[in-house]
């Protein structure tokens, strides 16, 4: 097992297309990361609200299919990942979120998301394991001496 350079603790990947992450997940696990995946907003919400899981970072896709709780968002064309981000900010305000989406490269989307204190980084799809590992390392460096976001 290689040594990890990033955060200590579990990472949550939220994306409806987890096959994209297959290589990334294998590489993260090989480096000692604990990885949990959610492929729906509903599943992600349950995991995030479970305080015992104590996630240290979330990778969040913006374009997720809406579920039963999200009919209004679906009808209005809003992105369910952004709705979930709002819930993360309320329920776990110190949990760092990495926006991992094709849309993360769009300036107007970035501008909108910078208003959320939990958003720490952006990864534009497609990306590979190295980009995720580098980003997790960057979050750890930014958080040094700032234990509050880990609690």
Q: Are 44 and 38 contacting, i.e. CB atoms less than 8 angstroms apart?
A: yes
Complete DSSP assignment for 101-128:
EGGGG-HHHHHHHTTSTTEEEEEESS--
Helix, strand, or coil here: 38?
strand
CA distance 44 to 124: 21
pLDDT digits (tens, 9 = 90+) for 82-118: 889 999 999 999 999 999 999 899 999 899 898 899 9
Instruction: Note the pTM of the prediction, 2 decimals.
Output: 0.84
Q: pLDDT-based confidence at 146, cuts 50/70/90?
A: very low
pLDDT digits (tens, 9 = 90+) for 47-71: 999 988 889 999 999 988 765 545 5
- What is the set of domains in the chain, with CATH numbers? 11-139 (3.40.50.2300)
CA distance 33 to 66: 29
Q: Are 139 and 57 contacting, i.e. CB atoms less than 8 angstroms apart?
A: yes
């Amino acid at each position: 097992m290689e040594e990890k350079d990033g955060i200590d603790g579990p990472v949550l990947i939220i994306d409806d297309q987890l096959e994209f992450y297959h290589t990334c997940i294998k590489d993260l696990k090989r480096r000692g990361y604990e990885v949990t995946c959610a492929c729906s907003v509903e599943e992600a919400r349950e995991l995030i609200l479970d305080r015992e899981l104590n996630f240290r970072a979330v990778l969040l896709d913006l374009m997720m299919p809406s579920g039963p709780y999200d009919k209004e968002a679906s009808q209005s064309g809003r992105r369910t990942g952004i709705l979930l981000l709002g819930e993360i900010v309320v329920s776990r305000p110190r949990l760092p979120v990495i926006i991992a989406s094709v849309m993360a490269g769009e300036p107007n989307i970035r501008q909108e998301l910078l208003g959320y204190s939990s958003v720490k980084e952006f990864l534009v799809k497609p990306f590979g394991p190295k980009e995720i590992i580098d980003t997790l390392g960057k979050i750890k460096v930014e958080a040094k001496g700032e234990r509050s976001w880990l609690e």
